[in-house]
Structure 1
Amino acid sequence: MKILLVHNRYQQAGGEDNVVAAEAKLLAEHGQEVELWSVDNKDLPAGLKGKINTAITTTYSAASLAIAQDYLRTFKPAVVHVHNFFPQISPSIYDACMTQGVPVVQTLHNYRLICPGAMLMRDGKICEQCIAGSPYQAVRYGCYRGSKLGSLVVAHMVATHRKQGTWSTKVNRFIALTDFAKSKFIQAGFPLEKIAVKPNFLHDPYAGINRLARTNPAFGLFVGRISEEKGIKTLLSAWSGLAGHSVLKVAGSGPLEDLLQDETNIKALGRQNASDISQLMQQAAFLVLPSEWYEGFPLVLVEALAHGLPILASRLGSMADIIEDGKTGLFFTPGDANDLAEKAQWLLEHPEQVEELGENARRVFLEKYSSEQNYAELMAIYEAVQ
């Protein structure tokens, strides 16, 4: 099958880029013919004129339409899989596909199509006003990068295509990463029958090798962006209340990383590469994910499951679709530092139970999130739209 993948990279590389690369590699390894049309926001035109042009073309880009049509004529794909069109490619990609009679699959990596801020979050709290209400509410609050003008541009894109029925008539199948995410898009008016659920996946880090038993793991691990929506303040408050010398290792960077410097039992490691993260996951007692927004499907969760690492996470949004409380990890109340500290202390003091949770996590990974399972699910989606 010929498959055209379409992706607009953000200026700061993130999980979406990794998912696109992993799926492209997976498809190619199974003999599919894959072409990637990728643009990068690092190449956005600078200056006032460039910003104005980007703002105008975010809702619909004639230039991208022409490029898309050229890809379709020359490559002749059986299906086009759009991962992200914002802001350079724009929804014009859908019209190019309709003209050529090529079915479209769209992965919903975040909530951009129903929320200008993409996170269903405002002022550090969950916000669902734009799901059923006007997306122009985002302008009042500057939901897109704190900019009212930028929020107006994105809100116009969301509102225009909602009114035109783009999401219901021009996309053959959406891929939501969890059942929870699917429910939010259905609330926003997306057609139930067009949304499939397929999680992210990971190539098995232990493929062909034996997984070593953990030797006296004595620290918790956080991997991700050091920012407010990730629950960093709650995490720091919780860890300051833990007994003894319980260590938390933090891998990542972000706007709140300076808060880590004054904590004696927290080791700030900075940004780590994939190999370093894998080694940390083989040594840690558990991964802590204290997010206070509706996470999509962070790859760090799949990594933890693949490494047989239990997860201590906030009971929020998609987490309940991924983590099984008492089986592959534990939940705590979002934003509740005392509850987080209590659960972390229990995990650090019960290594045998933690080992059992880890074995369950590894088993769930092999059943649900392996590359082979994901390939079968992805191809079934492609074949269903033919």
Structure 2
Amino acid sequence: MRRNRTGKPARKKLLNILYIVHSFYPESYTGTEKFVFNMARSMQSKGHRVKVVTYSKGALESYPHAVGEVVYREYDHEGIPVLAYRHQHMDPADTFETGNPDLTLFAKKVIEMEKPDLIHFGHPMRAMEFMQTSALLGIKYVITLTDFWFICPKSTLLQTSNALCPGPEMGENCRIHCLLPDAQQRLGTHIPLLRSASKVISPSASLASLFQNSLPDLDVEVLNHGMKYETIRANERVYQAGDPLTLFYGGSLSPHKGVHLILEAMSMIPTDRLKLKIYGSGPSDYTELLEQAAAADNRAALCGLYSEEDIQQLYQEVDIAVVPSIWYENYPLVLHEALASRVPALVSDIGGMAEKVKDGFNGFTFRVGDAGHLAERILEILDNPMLLNEFKANMKQVQIPAIEEEAEAYERIYHSLVRSKVKSKRRKR
């Protein structure tokens, strides 16, 4: 512990922290947004000044302020101050180019107005001008990797055929397998800004490893997400032979999440002892396909969205969480919630999913993209529901860290970076 000259523990400096993310509540509510909100709320509770800056797609008339071609508004989300902005005439996500003069001017204005001690990027899509401006002004920034956006224009390392991609290979794989001829140009601007971060953090070892396969010189620290235990209640159900089972999926309803695989697997298992509850939202075309498949099976239901307040009850009503993603999922927070709630999981055998679910210990893995193999694993449990008792007993042995632990680790990182910045300034004098 650091101590001052009197020998007493030194008081930590209160920091001014800017969090930047590609979308945020209430407009968007996936795992990245939840992570940013959790960290902002944790730092605020410690006395630090925080603000979330996010891109937004609201109607232009809903933004009362403007800086050139960029409009913005400010609001609070559960006590966290938020600044939401958008360009009036374009979506930055539609171009590989960075350094847009309108967005650069806006980023400079915001940073000069907020005067942050450091900036934490939860996701820099549509916000690269903030990263460029931070580097130009000498403001230290932290990046938490939540997908493959820096090295993959599609963010998922999935080729157009939905085959897993080993990495961009300087844009060559992007050109051949995804028909993206400008990917090399994109990598040329994005990778230097990733390397310029004062700290790069990954919530999972698998995501860190895949980045380092493409960028061997990149130093990535692994720091697992924490769980908000106030919202968790353990599922204490004990299973017997012949028990009915309810499968659960929660999260984004997007093709790369593989939700269709659960419905395909259900169609191979003609039993009335099995039900499926799907929670979430997503693109209308994919959601409609899921709705059609669910309508053909009266055991399956699309249940809409669920909130943090619903988590305790929801996990009392289900028996197995299914995470069937067909991409190298980073660290699915819904899987986190399920395991903390002592609900065993069935997950694809790649990425952060296989990192958290050990086959035969706290659930089962199945071959990625293989609905038939998923059906086989479901049948194993249907034939012997008492397997779930073993999984649940094993889950008690593994404690998922709390959000408070995650926040403590980030706070230490923040302070170390700010101290090193102060020391650097002193040496220059």
TM-score when scaled to structure 2? 0.75
CA gap of 1:52–1:13, structure 2 versus 1, over 3 A, is closer
The structure number with the bigger radius of gyration is: 2
Post-superposition CA distance 1:77-125 (Å, at most 9, x none) = 22210122222x22x3234323443211011111111011111112352
Where in structure 2 are the equivalents of 1:1-386 lying within 5 Å?
A: 1-9=15-23, 13-42=29-58, 50-51=89-90, 58-87=97-126, 89-90=127-128, 92-128=129-165, 130-134=167-171, 137-138=174-175, 141=178, 156-162=185-191, 165-168=192-195, 170-189=196-215, 191-193=217-219, 195-205=220-230, 211=234, 213-214=236-237, 218-242=245-269, 244-245=271-272, 246-254=274-282, 255=286, 256-257=289-290, 258-361=292-395, 364=398, 367-386=399-418
Distance verdict in 2 for CA 1:30–1:336, change over 3 Å:
same
SS of match in other structure, 1:109 = coil
Gaps in structure 2 of 5+ consecutive residues: 1-14, 61-68, 71-87, 419-429
Name the CA distance, whole Å, in 1 between partners of 2:148 and 2:93. 21
Q: Percent identity?
A: 24
Structure 1: give runs of 5+ residues left out of the alignment. 143-150
| Residues 1:112 and 1:213: Cα distance change in structure 2 (over 3 Å) | same
What secondary structure, in the 3-state scheme, does the structure 1 residue paired with 2:122 have? strand
C-alpha RMSD over aligned residues: 3.2
Q: Give the 3 Å change call, closer, same or farther, for CA 63–294 of structure 1 in structure 2.
A: same
Equivalent-residue separation in structure 2 for 1:53 and 1:211 (angstroms): 43
190 and 27 in structure 1: CA distance in 2 versus 1, 3 angstrom threshold: farther
Aligned residues of 2:168 and 2:174 also touching (Cα < 8 A):
no
**Contact 2:170 / 2:184 at 8 angstroms: preserved in 1?**
no
1:137 alignment partner, SS class: helix
Q: 1:324 to 1:30 in 2, by over 3 A?
A: farther
TM superposition score normalised by structure 1: 0.83
**Separation in 2 of the partners of 1:56 and 1:261?**
38
Higher helix share: 1
CA offsets per residue over residues 28-53 of structure 1, 9 Å max, x none? 1222221222221446899xx92388
SS at match of 1:267: strand
Q: Secondary structure at the match of 1:250?
A: strand
> Aligned in 2, Cα 1:152/1:4: closer, same or farther, shift over 3 Å?
farther
